[in-house]
Structure 1
Amino acid sequence: MVKMTIVGRVSDGLPLARGPRYLNQEHDSFSFYKQQAEFILKEISRGALAPSKMTIRVDHHSFHYLMENGIGCFITLCDSSYPRKLVFHYLQDLQKEFQKFDISLIDKITRPYSCVKFESIIGNIRKQYVDTRTQANLSKLNANRGQDLDIVIEHMYQIVERKRQSEISEEILTATRKHVSSIWGSPRLEVIALKWTPIAIIVAVAAILLWANLVLTDEFIV
């Protein structure tokens, strides 16, 4: 069963619309899965999740997403037992409807979940996929039955761990840069520079004059 759907903008990870809530659980569980869906959207926007479509296992549910030409991303949460082939048919139907919207207007949206018009579309399309045994859905399931879905599968903990490792690497790199910068910008180096720069200039000038004198002497002897 399709329990949650979020449509987002790939460029910045802004959630644009969401479907009706179908989690028959307390509010905390809904908020938990909603936060995870938004986390997935952010990871897609920053390029951490490269595939255009993916299944992400979490608990006894699965997130599935479909990305459209780097513009829109369609994420849904389903029971792990729900047929993946139907899930991606559902996401493709959402994608087709989304393509009818003016992209320039989509780019101007600044507030999360403010594309209200698309929410009713999500609800209407979802109704077509509630019963997996309808003739239309059985036809979709039986089409190309022998072919495996070319879809990457990962677990949420793997994505979270990669994010954590990435943040640690960034912190180390930032700390290293600050350390190097602080060394070269330290007061001690400024004192050394003020003390020795004039001496270095005098030595360099003396060396140039000595070299010039030797050259002139050689020319005079010749």
Structure 2
Amino acid sequence: MALFTNIARIQDGLLLCSDSDEEADYTKYQNYAKQLFQKLEAMEQKIDKFSIEESEFTYHYYIANGVCYLGFFKKNYPYRAVFAYLKELEEEFRRIYNQQEIEEANRSFTFIKFESVIRNLRQKYTDDSSLADKNIQQLSENLTDVQRIITKNIKEVLERGEKLETLNLASSKLSNESKVYAIKARNFKWRMWWKTYSPLIIIAAIVFLVLFIKFFIW
């Protein structure tokens, strides 16, 4: 699951919304993320997805329509799940807020009410991962053909002022890979639901059929 999630406007790095795991303190990593937001404007049209490693964690960025969606994950969390999560986050954000509202925001956390949506999505991807742990691991192993360049330390990026264009050029395949993961995760969840409840449904159908025959046919 995402340890914290930030949504920021590209043009000025304004933090629009944020949500984090309340059981841990990620203040230091949040500060690094805020500094990186200030460097995003120059590369918006060049990269829409990239990742930066820091210690045992990884920052994952997804950029669309002038907004950056950042998810902070443990390093071993599957890339497909990460970008499926960020893509769905972007879709929900755009469903609720229009471009004018985003452009006119003039203070941090303007869209603080969106935190509840983030929490629900975080929980959804936590549940999907726990239900399909083995399946997700297999999906992750198949991602070796996706091209990516990740820095070893985020502080080096901030200190050197390295261009973000060089950090991670995730191939165009990654978008399709994340969509495939999202579909497979939903399908797997449906199969688990059916496996759990199908006996009850079958029993209920049999009872209904017996009652129907008893009262309406006999």
Instruction: Give a deviation string over 1:95-147, Cα, whole Å, max 9, x none.
Output: 11122221101111111112123211111111111141324994796399366
The aligned runs of 1:33-44 (5 Å cut-off) are 33-44=29-40
1:35-74 CA distance string (max 9 Å, x none): 11111211112449952211101111111100113x1100
Give the equivalent residue in structure 2 for 1:157: 155
Q: Distance in 2 between matches of 1:79 and 1:18?
A: 18
The runs of 5 or more residues in structure 1 that have no matched partner are 166-222
Q: Which amino acid aligns with 2:75?
A: S
TM-score normalised according to structure 2 size: 0.64
* Closer, same or farther: CA 38–141 of 1 in aligned 2, 3 Å: farther
Question: Match for residue 96 of structure 1?
Answer: 91
Runs (4+) off by over 6 Å: none
* TM-score for both structures, normalised by structure 1: 0.63
Separation in structure 2 between the aligned mates of residue 141 and residue 152 of structure 1, nearest angstrom: 22
| Residue pair 1:43, 1:49 contacting (<8 A) in 2 also | no
* 1:1-222 alignment runs, 5 A limit: 1-19=1-19, 21-22=20-21, 24-25=23-24, 29-47=25-43, 50-69=46-65, 71-100=66-95, 101-131=97-127, 132-135=129-132, 138=135, 142=139, 145=142, 148-155=145-152, 156-163=154-161
Report the aligned-residue RMSD: 2.9
DSSP 3-state at the match of 2:39: helix
Identity of aligned residues (%): 24
**Structure 2: runs of 5+ lacking an equivalent:** 164-218
Specify the code of the residue in structure 2 equivalent to 1:22: D
- Report how far residue 164 of structure 1 moved: 8.0
Secondary structure class of the residue paired with 2:125:
coil
Give the C-alpha shift of residue 14 in structure 1. Answer: 0.6
Residue pair 2:62, 2:70 contacting (<8 A) in 1 also: yes
2:8–2:37 Cα contact (<8 Å) kept: yes
Which whole-Å CA distance do the structure 2 matches of 1:30 and 1:146 have between them?
28
- Partner SS, residue 68 of structure 2: strand
Change in Cα spacing, 1:90 to 1:108, as seen in structure 2 (3 Å) is same
Alignment-mate amino acid for residue 21 of structure 2:
Y
Change beyond 3 A, Cα 1:42–1:49: farther
